[in-house]
Copies of this chain bind each other. A is one copy, B any other.
C-alpha cells in the first residue's frame, strides 16, 4: 500500500474544497485578475477530481505568489523567482504528485527567467502558470519584462526604454511542450486550458493575462479578446507544428501591445517524453517514487560498505 493514500484516490471534489478556511478570502485588490486564476484553478482541479492532499503548489513571490495562501492543498510559497526548481525536484522525488508552479511575470520571466528556460528545455512534467500583468504588482508598479515599451512608473519617469520579452515564443524555443495564453477576462477558457495543461505529460506553460487595475491602468482591460481556436482568422496554424506555432506566437505577442488580445493554445507536442521518463529510461530515476522508500520498512537500503572494495 502506498504511504501516500491521497494520491490517485477516487475523490469527489468541488471547487469549494480548494478554499482554505483560514484564508478563504484573497487580499488582492478589487478587480485584480489574480482572483480569476484562483477560481479557474479550483475549478480545473475539481473537474480532474484531484484530492487537495495530492496537489503540491509551489509559488514565487509577488501578488501572484500569494496564490498558495488562498488555495487549499500542500502549498510552498518559495522565494522570488525560484518556484520552478523547487517544483522540479518535488516531481522527481514523487512523480505521482500533481505539481503546479505559479508566479508573476517578474518572478518567472525576470529574475527566474533562466529556470523557466531550462525547465522548459528539460521538459519537466508539471504545469507552470505565469500571472502576466505586465508589471511588478507587489512592489508597486515598476516595469516588468513584459511591460510595454514606454510604461511609466516611479522607476521610469520617461517611460520604459526596454522592449517587452516574448513569453510564448521563448517557451517554445526553449523546449516547452504545451504553450498557451489565457486571460482573466475569459474564465471559461482559462479553466479549460488549465485542465489540459495539468493533464499534459511534460512542461506546460500558461501565460495568464491578469489585469492589475492598481498599477497598470493601460493594460487593465484584456477585452475584447479573441480565442484563436474559435477564430477563422487565426486558426490556420497547427498546434503540433513548431514553425507555424512560432509564427502565431510572434503575432500574438506583438498583438498584445497593439490592443489585439489573442488567447488560446499555441503549441502541444505529445511525442517528446517528459524529463522524468527520460531519466527512468536511462536508469537514472527509480521506477517507483523515491518518497515511498522512506516509509517502506522492507526497502533495501544499499550502503557504502557494499562498494568499498574498489578502495582496497
List residues of chain A with CB under 8 Å of any chain B CB: 110-111, 113-114, 117-118, 121-123, 145, 158-159, 161-163, 165-166, 169-170, 172-175, 242-243, 246-247, 250, 272, 275, 278-279, 282-284
Contact = CB atoms under 8 A, between A and B. Distances in A.
B170 A275 contact: no
Contacts of A246: 243, 246
A111, A159, A175, most chain B CB atoms within 10 A: A175
A157 to B, nearest CB: 9
Contact of A161 (B145, B172, B282): B282
A175 B163 contact: yes
Contact of A114 (B113, B282, B284): B113
A153 to B, nearest CB: 13
B158 A165 contact: no
Given A122-B163, A163-B175, 14 more contacts: A113-B113, A113-B114, A113-B117, A113-B118, A118-B165, A121-B145, A121-B162, A121-B165, A158-B282, A159-B282, A161-B275, A162-B278, A170-B170, A243-B246
Contacts of A113: 113-114, 117-118
A121 B242 CA distance: 22
Nearest to A247: B243
B121 A163 contact: yes
A117 B170 contact: yes
A247 B110 CA distance: 26
